[in-house]
């Protein structure tokens, strides 16, 4: 990720400064919770993509930094709400807001961040980014609703799964790259904005499929969450969808019985993983993630070579090659 962020490292430092300022309030409990959120933020993948996409057209000014800050605030708010909905006590091995405080406090903090994000755009008259993010927050909410709708549904199709992850994950990454493409005088270039929206959404699909593989295959010591926690919460993702579709009738029945459990012994979990493996579920999911990565690279075709273009290529590699 360091190589991806190198061309925009200075701007990412300014994003962090803005985040500290925007998280500061006169209310002690919000400052305490906000301090925890800031201390546990991730790699800023979405702001990085926004800044790199804007850098393709040249200079990165105040508007780019503010938009990147707002995208990170929206992402933080979504994760805080997501953890509360999922009753998750840990994220990347660190306590969540609802884990340290309460679900109520998580809802309040998430709402505060959404409001601060939108207020920042209004204050600085960033109307096009405001319109994009208003649309995307709606899409993300629909993605959360679909996750509830499809919970524990072993008959969910790949098309429905992709609709869900496009809304829940792809939409905000697509918003980041669309906003970036619209900066530096590109706001009126709808064709370019649409192209980079597709780029970000496609990277987001690849990113989420890899995330869903982690639930089965990653080392919990690395990811900071127990294996199978998503499946236990009813999230039926592509490795399982593909395995159920491709399995023999005998293996399909065994897989359905095991998948509907909410807890597994070590032996049961090994059986479940083995059935998905022999039925081609992991292989299929990896292939689909790489297919989306290749599609994202094709969208970049024709973009002049340079540090930002190279970093965007590396961002695609990161999306499908990371281990957590």
Tens digits of per-residue pLDDT, 30-88? 999 988 989 887 889 999 999 999 999 888 999 999 999 999 999 999 999 999 988 88
Dihedral angle sign, alpha carbons of residues 92, 97, 98, 104: negative
Residues 95/16, Cβ–Cβ less than 8 Å: no
Domain residue limits at 23: 2-321
CATH of the domain at 254: 1.10.600.10
Segment 222-279, tens digit of pLDDT: 887 889 999 999 999 999 999 999 999 999 999 999 999 989 999 999 999 999 999 9
Q: Per the structure, how many domains does the chain have?
A: 1
Q: Within its chain, how far is the Cα of 37 from the centroid?
A: 17
**pTM for the full model?**
0.95
């Amino acid at each position: 990720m360091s190589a991806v962020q190198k061309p925009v490292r200075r701007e990412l430092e300014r994003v962090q400064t803005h985040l500290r300022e925007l998280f500061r309030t006169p209310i002690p409990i919000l400052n305490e919770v906000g301090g925890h959120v800031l201390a546990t933020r991730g790699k800023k993948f979405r702001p990085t993509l926004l800044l790199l996409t804007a850098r393709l057209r040249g200079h990165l000014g105040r508007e780019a930094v503010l938009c990147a800050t707002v995208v990170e605030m929206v992402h933080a708010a979504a994760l805080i709400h997501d953890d509360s909905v999922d009753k998750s006590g840990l994220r990347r091995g660190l306590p969540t807001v609802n884990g340290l405080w309460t679900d109520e406090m998580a809802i309040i903090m998430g709402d505060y961040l959404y409001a601060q994000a939108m207020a920042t755009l209004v204050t600085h008259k960033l109307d096009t980014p405001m319109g994009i993010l208003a649309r995307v927050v709606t899409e993300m909410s629909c993605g959360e609703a679909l996750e509830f709708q499809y919970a524990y549904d072993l008959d969910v199709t790949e098309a429905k799964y992709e609709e869900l992850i496009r809304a829940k994950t792809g939409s905000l990454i697509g918003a980041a790259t669309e906003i970036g493409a619209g900066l530096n005088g590109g706001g009126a270039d709808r064709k370019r904005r649409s192209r980079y929206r597709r780029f970000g959404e496609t990277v987001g699909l690849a990113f989420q499929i890899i995330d869903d593989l982690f639930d089965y295959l990653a080392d919990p010591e690395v990811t900071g969450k127990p294996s199978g926690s998503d499946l236990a919460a009813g999230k039926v993702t592509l490795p399982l969808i593909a395995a159920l579709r491709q399995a023999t009738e005998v293996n399909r029945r065994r897989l359905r019985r095991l998948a509907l459990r909410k807890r597994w012994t070590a032996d049961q979990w090994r059986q479940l993983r083995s059935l998905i493996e022999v039925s081609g579920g992991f292989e299929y999911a990896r292939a689909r993630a790489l297919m989306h990565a290749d599609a994202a690279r094709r969208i970049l075709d024709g973009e002049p070579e340079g540090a930002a273009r190279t970093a965007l290529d590396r961002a695609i590699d990161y999306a499908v090659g990371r281990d957590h």
